[in-house]
């Protein structure tokens, strides 16, 4: 009798992975919620590395198709992408769990940090850690731009769209929604004139990248729960309307329409629907309302909240939780003896109203998107949008780099320790392929050392 032939790593890589259980997926989404540093670019890069390259839960092509849809929605695209993939794997509850766990750790962390910030003022230890984290985040965004760009910019047309988007936002200050709309129009026309240049992956017909078969592969049929049904769409809309109307009605009944918590719910619902292009696109609106109109936070507090949002896991738009905490705490909505409770409740309410639309967009629109992953009329505009977003991410990296290396402007001091940390982080990411979860803590410790000795 011949001995059995051992299964090699190469042979195993040619087989689709085993089906993913709900408990296994839940553990992954929970861990992702704690390690999702680096803003949307870094978070998408982490998900791509884990879900496409390492675990092979979803193919490159299906991942990019879902990402393209999330990028045209208002709201945080990385959180929506997690919700979409969770929904695709494990139905509605899979999407809800993935989306909630993407946000929940960040909410808890920001509540604690906001309380420390207001109750105890500046902490040298925290300031030192942040000093190292900021340049690391800059390097992570650059690395993510490279990773996404290397897959999205497969021909001259995609490079031209990315370059035009960069010039538009960097030099001309064109609003991000206008860039998205223009890219979508270019993609729609280009998909008809030169279809091979506007296919997902840049015109190679969706050729496999080389990670091996995926659980949800290019040709995997859409699961039954992800197929479009009018009844399912109506159910999502009814439940979504109830989840918004019931808490708003309770807040109005308890505190009146002009109460602080009621106005927070209404204001951040509007902000959620305007968040095209990520948090930076909506921050001026939040600043104008929260600081200028309602007085929930001061300009300095808003800036400090943005710094906290940049250096904690989760979507950058979670800065709204910080604003909510500060507003509820400072205005003592539950009385002077319950300041922490007021801040925590306000932060939670703000998070609820900010992210509820994101879940509805995915659960309502996902079945329609799944029916179009081979439809060039739908995918060509989204492919062009992905290329444009690469240019926007490069602009974001330059924005981070400027504020980290020259915090007082070009006329001020050059922060050479921050530059060294940024270079070290970039080398770790590009040369040694280290994980974000390893780079962030190491750079935080370096920042603490530099701030202690200099």
Question: What's the pLDDT at 30?
Answer: 92
pTM of the model: 0.70
Rounded (10°) CA dihedral 130, 135, 140, 141:
110
Nearest-angstrom CA–CA distance, 345 and 397: 34
Chain centroid offset of residue 12 CA: 32
Q: Where are the domains of the chain?
A: 23-201+228-453
Nearest-angstrom CA–CA distance, 87 and 81: 10
Strands (E), 142-203: none
Helix (H, G, I), strand (E, B) or coil at 37: coil
Among candidate residues 105, 85, 37, 74, the one with its CA nearest the CA of residue 355: 74
pLDDT digits (tens, 9 = 90+) for 267-321: 999 888 866 555 655 666 777 788 888 889 887 677 677 767 766 788 878 889 9
List, run by run, the mean pLDDT of 10-residue segments along the chain (454 residues). Answer: 45 72 93 78 82 89 83 81 94 95 93 85 69 79 77 83 87 77 86 77 44 83 86 93 96 94 93 66 72 82 72 82 93 91 96 94 88 66 79 78 80 85 89 77 86 76
Q: Assess contact for 358 and 75: CB atoms under 8 A.
A: yes
Question: What's the pLDDT at 252?
Answer: 96
Q: Assess contact for 360 and 240: CB atoms under 8 A.
A: yes
Question: What's the pLDDT at 276?
Answer: 56
Chain centroid offset of residue 301 CA: 23
Phi-psi region of 387 (alpha: psi -120 to 50; beta: other; left: phi over 0): alpha
Question: What's the pLDDT at 282?
Answer: 64
Question: What's the pLDDT at 201?
Answer: 46
Strands (E), 187-240: none
Question: What's the pLDDT at 5?
Answer: 43
Q: CA 95, 143, 130: angle at the middle one, nearest 5?
A: 85
pLDDT digits (tens, 9 = 90+) for 244-261: 999 999 999 999 999 999
Nearest-angstrom CA–CA distance, 177 and 179: 5
Nearest-angstrom CA–CA distance, 291 and 287: 5
């Amino acid at each position: 009798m011949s001995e059995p032939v051992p299964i090699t790593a190469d042979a195993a890589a040619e087989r689709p992975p085993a089906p993913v259980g709900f408990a296994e997926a839940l553990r992954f989404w929970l861990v992702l919620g704690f390690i999702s540093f680096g803003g949307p670019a870094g978070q998408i890069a982490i998900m791509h590395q884990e879900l496409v390259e390492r675990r092979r839960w979803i193919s490159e092509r299906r991942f990019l198709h879902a990402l393209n849809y999330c990028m045209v929605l208002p709201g945080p695209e990385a959180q929506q992408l997690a919700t979409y993939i969770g929904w695709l794997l494990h139905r509605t509850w899979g999407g809800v769990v993935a989306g909630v766990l993407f946000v929940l750790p960040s909410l808890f962390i920001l509540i604690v940090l906001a309380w420390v910030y207001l109750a105890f003022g500046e902490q040298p230890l925290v300031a030192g850690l942040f000093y190292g984290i900021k340049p690391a985040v800059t390097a992570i965004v650059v690395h993510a731009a490279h990773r996404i760009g290397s897959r999205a910019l497969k021909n001259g047309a995609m490079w031209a769209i990315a370059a035009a988007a960069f010039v538009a936002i960097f030099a001309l200050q064109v609003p991000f929604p206008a860039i998205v709309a223009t890219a979508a129009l270019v993609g729609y026309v280009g998909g008809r004139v030169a279809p091979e240049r506007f296919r997902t992956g840049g015109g190679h017909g969706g050729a496999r990248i080389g990670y091996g078969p995926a659980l949800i592969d290019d040709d995997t049929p859409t699961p039954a729960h992800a197929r479009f049904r009018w009844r399912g769409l109506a159910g999502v809309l009814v439940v979504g309307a109830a989840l918004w109307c019931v808490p708003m009605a309770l807040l109005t009944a308890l505190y009146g329409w002009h109460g602080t918590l009621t106005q927070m719910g209404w204001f951040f619902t509007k902000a959620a629907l305007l968040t095209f292009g990520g948090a930076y696109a909506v921050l001026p609106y939040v600043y104008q309302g929260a600081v200028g109109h309602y007085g929930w936070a001061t300009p300095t507090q808003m800036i400090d909240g943005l710094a906290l949002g940049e250096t904690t896991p989760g979507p950058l738009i979670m800065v709204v939780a910080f604003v909510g905490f500060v507003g509820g705490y400072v205005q003592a909505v539950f009385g002077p003896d319950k300041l922490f409770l007021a801040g925590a409740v306000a932060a939670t309410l703000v998070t609820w109203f900010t992210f509820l639309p994101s879940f509805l967009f995915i659960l309502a629109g996902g079945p329609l998107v799944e029916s179009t992953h081979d439809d060039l009329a739908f995918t060509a505009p989204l492919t062009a949008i992905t290329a444009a977003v690469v240019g926007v991410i490069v602009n974001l990296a330059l924005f981070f780099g400027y504020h980290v290396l020259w915090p007082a402007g070009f006329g001020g001091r050059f922060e050479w320790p921050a530059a060294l940390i940024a270079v070290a982080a970039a080398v770790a990411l590009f040369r040694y392929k280290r994980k974000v979860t390893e780079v962030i803590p190491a750079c935080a410790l370096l920042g603490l050392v530099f701030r202690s000795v200099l």
